[in-house]
Amino acid sequence: MQEKIIDDKILEKMTLANVYNIFNANIFPMLNEEDIKFCKEIQKFCIELEPKVNTSEDVYEFFSELGKHGFMQRINVWKDYRPFGMKKELLLSINLSILDAELDAARFTSSVLCANALFHYFHHGGKNEKIEKIKDELMSGEKIGSLCITEPERGSDSVNMTTMCTKTDDSIIYNGKKVFTTNGPKADYFVIYGVYDKEKPRETMVQTLIPRELGVKTNRIAISSAPRIHIAQTFLEDVKVPQEFILADNGDGYKRLFEGLVPERLVISANGLGVCWGALIYGMIYTNYRRQFGKDIIKFEGVGFGLADLLSKVTAATALALQVGTIYDEKILFAEKPNKEVSKWTAGVVSQAKYHIARLSHEVCYEVQQQMGGISLTDNTPLDRYSNVSKIEEVIGGARNIQLLIIQNALSKIKKIIE
């Protein structure tokens, strides 16, 4: 804290433990015993980590601490860490992002956006000891991963990539440029998409794991709303990748791209929910103790009704995300044979959740800051940090209109249901 101006009596109430207590009072009735136990485990970890978190330093030093507790990722089973599944991943992300949403975003980029591609490779029957070892390195937090889809000229239109792959006898040569590579400047491994034929991206897309030492170059770009995460422009100039690093070839890369987007958008939603809950709860605490005109300001309808409106929206959004996570676990992840109808529904509803929650996180931060007044713009409370991260939520994982486009596509298919 550069200069303390907040009242001590309010500051002493604004502990992370109190924040989690309020979160739990709102959320635990929705959860089963296993979920509650898991949340408490994460919260204990976060409360212990909090004194080490310096909000002006990079987030990466905490990856190995997360890894030691199996908290890099919890969608897939890894070592003896239990419980696991999509719902658990959402709970991990919400709780961690209440502590530090930038740390959570860097974490899930490495372990969900990047490492999930390796899990998918094994789910589809891949066998490769080197990739198994890299998966362990990413899950333990010893190494850092990135995902490269977006290009300077291909953002929302990501399928029509310009990054070219050329086959040789024993390798693929990559040429192209990617941009907005989260973790890029720090990454040891990159999951990178390219195509053999720009005219036929769906039929020729390749997904490859590329270790940095094969020649991937990165330059950091400045993103002021997430200053503790390194984000890059990534250059691939005649990068020769041995066959053993190909995860999905000859158009299968296109299928894996979409397989990856569902968990990606769900976990971005969970990060956004952590931002919502963090901002809202710190706001609730402050307005319960801050007095003006002889009253706690929460008692003024202008303040209390505003927070009540936000709480009802955040509770509904949380219920939606957790329900989607539960269905994803039951009918896709843990099912003997994933249900095709549910998979289709999930792809659509995840866009609805991501669209709604990303936008809500920005609304919540902005509105809570207005309800709290000047203090929320200082470093005396974490509000402005949440607010900064909320600015990127709608862009990452596909901008607002792309989520709407996916939802609109489903709407335009209703004729099939009624004809």
Ligand X SMILES: Cc1cc2nc3c(=O)[nH]c(=O)nc-3n(C[C@H](O)[C@H](O)[C@H](O)COP(=O)(O)OP(=O)(O)OC[C@H]3O[C@@H](n4cnc5c(N)ncnc54)[C@H](O)[C@@H]3O)c2cc1C
Contact between 114 and ligand X by CB under 6 A: the answer reads no
Which amino acid is present at 93?
A: S
The residue (of 36 and 410) whose beta carbon lies closer to ligand X is 410
27 near ligand X (CB under 6 A): no
Among 32, 156, 219, 408, binds ligand X (CB under 6 A): 156
User: Nearest distance from residue 69's CB to ligand X, in Å?
Assistant: 24
Does position 181 interact with ligand X (CB under 6 A)? The reply is yes
- Answer yes or no whether residue 180 interacts with ligand X by CB under 6 A: yes
Among 148, 236, 281, 365, binds ligand X (CB under 6 A): 148
- Asked whether position 160 contacts ligand X by CB under 6 A, the answer is no
Work out which of 6, 36, 164, 399 binds ligand X, going by CB under 6 A: 399
Q: Does residue number 409 form part of the binding site for ligand X (CB under 6 A)?
A: no
Binding region for ligand X (CB under 6 A) out of 65-73, 88-96, 281-289, 398-406: 398-406
159 binds ligand X (CB under 6 A): no
For the chain, the three-class secondary structure string (H helix, E strand, C coil) is: CCCCCCCHHHHCCCCHHHHHHHHHHHHHHHCCHHHHHHHHHHHHHHHHHHHHCCCCCCCHHHHHHHHHCCCCCCCCCECCECCCCHHHHHHHHHHHHHHHHHHHHHHHHHHHHHHHHHHHHHHCCCCCHHHHHHHHHHHCCCCCEEEECCCCCCCCCCCCCCCEEEECCCEEEEEEEEEEEECHHHCCEEEEEEECCCCCHHHHEEEEEEEHHHCCEEEEECCCCCCCCCEEEEEEEEEEEEHHHEEECCCHHHHHHHHHHHHHHHHHHHHHHHHHHHHHHHHHHHHHHCEECCEEHHHCHHHHHHHHHHHHHHHHHHHHHHHHHHHHHHHHHCCCCCCHHHHHHHHHHHHHHHHHHHHHHHHHHHHHHHHHCHHHHCCCCCHHHHHHHHHHHCCCCCCHHHHHHHHHHHHCCCHHHHC
Q: Is 192 in the site for ligand X (CB under 6 A)?
A: no
Q: How far is the CB of 400 from ligand X (least distance, A)?
A: 6
Residue 398 CB, nearest distance to ligand X (Å)?
5
Least CB distance from residue 26 to ligand X, whole Å? 29
- Tell the smallest beta-carbon distance from residue 404 to ligand X (Å): 7
Q: How many CB atoms lie within 10 A of CB 324?
A: 23
Instruction: Map the footprint of ligand X across residues 220-239, applying CB under 6 A.
Output: 223, 226, 231
**Which one, 49 or 231, has the nearer CB to ligand X?**
231
Say whether residue 97 binds ligand X (CB under 6 A).
Answer: no
Q: Does 347 bind ligand X (CB under 6 A)?
A: no
Tell me: does residue 306 bind ligand X (CB under 6 A): no
> Least Å distance between CB 164 and ligand X?
17
Q: Is 391 a residue that touches ligand X (CB under 6 A)?
A: no
Residue 111 touches ligand X, criterion: CB under 6 A: no
**Residue of 173, 402, 407, 410 interacting with ligand X (CB under 6 A):** 402
What residue ranges bind ligand X (CB under 6 A)? 109, 147-150, 155-156, 180-182, 223, 226, 231, 392, 395-402, 405
